[in-house]
Structures are given as structure tokens and as C-alpha cells.
Structure 1
């Protein structure tokens, strides 16, 4: 009897070992042959915008280097881009459904809504694609050239200054609230439906400053109508290399980066993530990609999956704190 039991135990152990070995072999094989059929690249926004162009640029380069179609699918809708994110979260973790997204649906929306998923647990970072430049601009008629000037002038004005942004809970709104809380400036946010009306309000002196993407601001800066006093990013942007960051102007903890990156469903095989990360990193070094992104006011970049995971967790926590401190809600 003992002999039979021992034989059964040995057989079970062998089966378990062979099963694990088979799984490991399958994962290795899938990574070596990946991709062997078309890959979907989901974006949570409608066609035609900057995020869409980034996704299509990235997808085209991955298709060239990896030899299979990378097909962009626009899945707009939901609160803060939740439809597109959920599409990826609910997909098989095999590397054939990816998310290419700006930071809003990842770092911001989950603090304002209650999605059915956890972006930090249900998604796996693949790699960073770009950092987008945003600027703080004032009319040239306003005698403000630095952040210190802005803080001083806003405090000396009885009602303070109003700043334009593209909506409650957007990157520009939160960057403004971070500026207000960190500097003590007397600022009040005013929401507009898009970058164009935000800049128009500034040009007409309806607001005293605006926080918007650099591409929307620069034509008016070049015409001598607006003055850029800072970029909100953690580092200077190549499109305006002479414009300092807020951090450089005495507020070292200020960092309001807008970014775009790629994610896969949680539990996607590590070897597949590694292959995608390498291909994405190579694509971001291509001169035509860097030029395309520069025209959008973005700097192409790359990051390992581990580094991106740490960055995203910090970014998520940063915006959560801003939203909580400023008592911002989605209502």
C-alpha cells in the first residue's frame, strides 16, 4: 500500500513539474513568436486629437519593427476615458490588446470617479512614449515675467487672478490648483470647453493667465500677444528650451507632467512586455517620431516597465493629493 501511495505521489509530483515546465515553455514560446497575429492598440479618445496621433504614430512604428499589424481602435466614452481602459483591463493578458493613453485616465480620473477597475493593479506598464509640454501664459500687458511676479501681483489684486483651463479635473485645472497651493498665489480657476476658448479668454483679458498646452499658446507668444512665464513640467521642454520650469523658479516640489504611455492587462507575460518595451523604446528614438511629437509640443521618451511603474504610482499619488487638498469633485 505504501508503495502504491509513494508511486502515486511521485507521479503527481512529476505531472506538476511537467505542467509547470510546459507553462514556462509556452510562455517562452509565445514571447519568441510574439506577435503572430494583429495587435489592438486601444485609445480612450475620438480620432483626430493629439492622443490619437501619438497612438497611430506608435502603432505604425511597432508594426514596422515587429512585422504584424498594430491596429488603433478608438474607444471614447465613460468617465475620464473609462471605456477604453476597461476594454484593456477585461482583455486576455497575452499582449494582443494594449492601451496607449495620456495620463488623465490613469493618474487623475480614478480619483474623481469610481471605476470598476484599479489602474495600479489591473494594468501592467509597458513603456513611456512622450511627455507633453504645458505652459503658464499671461498677456504681455500684464507686468508679470516670473512665478514670483505672479504670486506677488495676485496677492496685491483684491480679487486675485483668474486662470483659464479646459475643465474641472483636467491637467490644466490640477496644475493650477497645485500652483495655487504651493505658492500661495491668489488664483481662481475658470473652466472653458477646450484649449482654443481658454486661450481666447486670455487674449481678451477675461482671465489674467492660462494653463494650456504649448502648441495652443506658442502662436500668440510669437505674435507678441502672450508671454510664457513657465512650463509646468518637471524639466524644460525642447519646443521652448529657454522657458524655465516652475520648479526652477523657487518651488522644487512642483511637477505637473502630462505624459503618454503604453499599458497591457495585468499578468501579461514578462517576456512579451520586455519585447514590447524594447520596440517602443527604439521607436521613440527615431528622428521622424521625435519630429512628429515635437510638432505636437511633446518630447519623445522611453522608460523601462519597472521605472514606469514607480513613476505612475508617484504620479497617481501626486494628483490624488492635489484633488483631495483642493476638494475637487466631478460634480
Structure 2
């Protein structure tokens, strides 16, 4: 069987994670990588045995036959690579967030719709088995209607310094949780209230150390989301992840730092075995299936735009100190 041919655009830390995930897939091969950093390109080529390297995306599409691309460029540089890939007629896995402005996000969605190619957003919580299990329980109606939630994502300070102020911790971490919560609670959002704190990371890099985001739906349901990148370096977990969702029939709680998952109703409590899987190879498999079949991405352009609008509202709220109405 002919393997799906994948190109990776952007070979930074996340780009390399995608190379690893797709290289392990039996129906796929990473045949090309593209980056403006020549030394990084050669390093990745030598490490993973990738046949072709390019410093220009247009040249890559002209010279290399591809079925799909992964775009892992910095957040503010998503629009142009998507437009080029869409014109080339290849399906796209785009790292989150979809963009940093609504204008760019809408241009991205328009481009893929016009070209009739698939756009999948890299919202990894959709693929981490423990989070997917919670989402499935709500989709099946086992836990009733969601009414409130708490979600937390935290990384060590070194991650904040690695990104050097080029994005907020809401863009880096919060977008995942926002997308996950929207996938359970729905798109009928009313307001977003956010507060942020400025300490060491802000003093050094000019971006907030943490955000508390409160999302309220028109149904009256509410979710609180904490994101921070000021965890001490001594924390053995690079990434702390926790989520609790309460429904009208039951609740679910996952804490991947504390290594716990439980789902409970009035009649039972289940403790499924943890996989501790980061989800990237599951995400890669889903993208390959979307290329090979009529399957639609779990998180497409609209999901990316919705999460971006929530993030923009959170930023506005944290500056003004007031709730911000949101229309998705």
C-alpha cells in the first residue's frame, strides 16, 4: 500500500514532536521538512533520515509530491503557510492557535474552504486518552449536561523563558483547555472574565505569569481555567494537567500530575487505567485517516476560530477588569 507523504513546515520543538509521531505511523512517511533555519534542517534530516529539506515552502510544493503538511511555525506566522499549502491542494494539520488575529483566522478558513482541502487544528487534548474519555462520557449522555468545570495547565518557568515572550501563556497552554471545554459545553458562550498576574516572567519577558479565565455559557454553566508558566524548576513534571467537569448525572476528574482519572455517577465510580500518553501519535493517526477517507477532523477551522475569540476576550477582560461578551 502506498504510504501517505507528509511534509513538516517548522522544525522547532513541536515540529520535531510531529516528525517523531508521523515517522512511527505504518501508513505514513515524512518525506520533506521546511524551515528557514538551515542548521536545524540539517540536524533534523540527519537525526530522522528525512529525504528532502527546503528553506522555501513554495519550492517544497513545486518539487515534492505531498498528501498533507503539518504547519508548526510560530503562532503569528500561520496564515501564509496555510494559504500556500491550500493552493497546492494538500490537507493541513495546523498547530494551535489557528492564528493570533481573527482576520488571519478567517483568511485561513476561507483559503481551505476555497481549495476544498481539510484543515485540522492541533488541539492535543482531543487525543489524550484520559481527556477523550471524559469527552466521550458527556457525548454519550452518561454524565448528563455539563454544568461547571475546573481546568488547570502549568509548566515550569524554563518553558516561559524558552518562548521568550513571543506569546502569552493563554496562547501557549490555555487554547487547548478552551477548545476542550467548548467541545463539552458547546459554543453558546455568554461572557469571559479573566485576571492575570505579573511577576518574574512579566518582569523579564513582558508577558503575564498566569491567567485565571472564567467562561460563562448562556445556559448558566461556568468553567474556570488556570494557566501558568511559573512552576518551579524542581517540579518533576514539565507539564501539570488537571480537569474536573461536573454534569447533571455525574462528574469526571483527571489529574495527570497526580496520576488519577475517575468518572462517577450516583450509582458507580470508575477508575480507568491511565495511559500517560501525550496524544501526538493518536493525533497523527487521525490526520492520516482524514487524508485517506471522508473522515472530518475533530477540531477544524471553526473550532480554532472559536478558541481564538475566547482568548482575545480573555486578554481584553484582563486589561479592563470586566467581563467581556463573546459571540461565537
TM-score range, shorter chain: 0.3 to 0.5
- In our comparison, the structure showing a higher alpha carbon Rg is 1
Higher helix share goes to which structure?
1
TM-score, structure 2 as length reference? 0.39
TM-score, structure 1 as length reference? 0.39
Higher strand share goes to which structure?
2
Higher relative CO (Cα under 8 Å, sequence separation at least 6) belongs to 1
